[in-house]
Structure 1
Amino acid sequence: MPLLFVIVWLVLEILLTARIADAIGGGMVLLWFLATVALGVIIMRRSGWRAIQRIQTAMAQNELPTRTLLDTLLLFAAGTLLILPGPISDAIGLVLLLPWLRAPASRAADAGVRRARPDLREPVIIEGEFEEVVVRERVDRRDPPGD
C-alpha cells in the first residue's frame, strides 16, 4: 500500500509539473524548483541550530523538550518536501511552515508523552554509592633506549 501511494504521488507530481510548465514555461518551472530547494535548505539549517539551542535550554531547566523536538521534526519535513521537486510536495511543505498549524501538533504530542510517562515530569535521580578510581601512569620497567 505505501508503494502504491508513492507511485500515485509521483505520477501526480509529474502531471501537475507538466501542466504548470505548459502554462508558465519550462524556464520559470526550473527557477521555481531552484527557489524551493534553496528555501528548503535554509529552513532545515536554521531550524536545526535553533532546535539545538532550545533543547539545551529545556534540558538545563529539567524539562522534556517534546514540543521542540516535534516542531523541529515538522520543520525538517517541510524543508525536505520543499527540496523535492513538484507542486504537491511544495504545497504541503509550505503548509507545514505555518506556525499556527505546527503548534497544536506539538502541544498534543507533549501532552501524550506526559500522559504516557508521568515519571518523566520530575528529574530522574538514581541513588547509589561510588568509589573514585585513580589511574596511575604505567611505569615501563624495560631499560631506556640507547643504554
Structure 2
Amino acid sequence: MRKIVFGFLGYVLLELALLIVVGKLIGVLPTLLLVVATSVLGIYVVKNKGMNSVRSVKQALENREAPGTAMVDTMLNFSGGFLLALPGFLTDVLGVLLLMPISRKLFQPIVYYWMRKKMKHNQVIIVQK
C-alpha cells in the first residue's frame, strides 16, 4: 500500500514539475491550451477509435475467429485515449505511444503476458449471455 501511495505522489510531483518547466519555456497560456487540446484529442480518440476497435472485435467474433489481437488493440487504443484525456505531459506521451501502431507493437507482448498471468491464476471471469 505504501508503494502505491509513494508512487502516486511521485507521479503527481513529476507531472507538476513538468507543467512548471513547460510553462516557463513556452508560457502559461500555451501550456494550458496544450493540456486542454490533448484532453480533447484524447476524448475524441476514445470515442471514435475506441468504437472502431470494438467493431473489429465484434466482427472477429461474428467470423468465428479468435478476437485476441483485436481485443488487445482495443484495450491499448482505449488506454491511450484515456491517458491523453488526463491532464499532464507524462500521460500524454504514454498515451501517444499506445496509439501509434509502431510503438503499440512493443506494448502488445506486455498485455498478452498480463492476460495470461490473470488467466493462469483464475482471475478472469467470462460472462456468457
TM-score computed with the length of structure 2 as normaliser: 0.77
Say yes or no: does 1:20 pair with 2:57. Answer: no
In structure 2, the residue matched to 1:89 is 91
Deviation string for 1:53-107 (max 9, x for gaps)? 2112111121121111111111111111111111111111111111022235446
Deviation for aligned residue 1:16: 1.0
Unaligned runs of 5+ in 2: 121-129
CA distance in 2, matches of 1:106, 1:38: 26
User: What residue number does 2:71 align with?
Assistant: 69
Verify the 8 A CA contact 1:67 1:107 in the aligned structure 2. Answer: no
RMSD over aligned Cα atoms: 2.2
Indicate the SS of the match to 2:70: helix
Preserved contact between residue 71 and residue 103 of structure 1 (Cα < 8 Å): no
2:97·2:104 contact (CA, 8 Å) conserved in 1?
no
Amino acid at match of 1:21: G
% of aligned pairs identical?
Answer: 27
Contact in 1 for aligned 2:76/2:98 (Cα 8 Å):
yes
Q: Match for residue 127 of structure 2? A: none
The one-letter code matched in structure 2 to 1:76 is F
| TM-score (normalised: structure 1) | 0.69
Cα pair distance change 1:27/1:104, threshold 3 Å? closer
Unaligned segments of structure 1, at least 5 residues: 118-147
Read off the aligned partner of 1:65 and give its amino acid letter.
P
Aligned residues: 114
User: Which portions of structure 1, spanning 4 or more consecutive aligned residues, are displaced by more than 3 angstroms?
Assistant: 103-108
- Tell me the distance in 1 between the aligned counterparts of 2:66 and 2:109: 12
Letter in 1 for 2:104: R
Alpha-carbon distance in 2 for matches of 1:52, 1:80:
15
More helix by share: 2
Structure 1 residues 107, 19: closer, same or farther in 2, change over 3 A? closer
Q: Give 1 or 2 for the bigger CA radius of gyration.
A: 1
Secondary structure of the residue that 2:20 maps to in structure 1?
A: helix
Q: Partner residue of 1:33?
A: 35
